[in-house]
Amino acid sequence: MGIRIKCDLPAFPDTFVEFRDRPWKFGDRRRTLEAGGDAAALEIILPYVVEWNVKDCGGNPVDAKAGVDILDDVEDGVVIWLIRAWFEARLKATQLPPN
């Protein structure tokens, strides 16, 4: 069972991301915090995604497994939310019982 985070931006009520429940490696958090920008952080974050409902500016679904470049046509606020959602899910993962 993954960790689902619903987008809190009013313009994107159907947007959500589900991250895997385990493992959450400290090294990935460290690299995300040290990343030189959003694209570098997303390279680390995207492998944690198991499902999402994210659409580009034209309303077309975006494939989570396609890599960072696929986010070029996504609203900037949604991309920022994705990064925040990863940190929120990481915190929730610490509260899950061990497998």
Q: What is the structure's pLDDT at 16?
A: 98
The per-residue pLDDT for range 40-93, each reduced to its tens digit, is 999 999 999 999 999 999 999 999 888 899 999 999 999 999 999 999 999 998
**Per-residue pLDDT at 99:** 64
Q: Of 16 and 95, which is predicted with more confidence?
A: 16
Task: Give me the amino acid identity at 68.
Answer: V
Q: Is 61 exposed, middle or buried, given 0-12, 13-18 or 19+ CB atoms closer than 10 A?
A: exposed
One-letter amino acid identity for 39? Answer: A
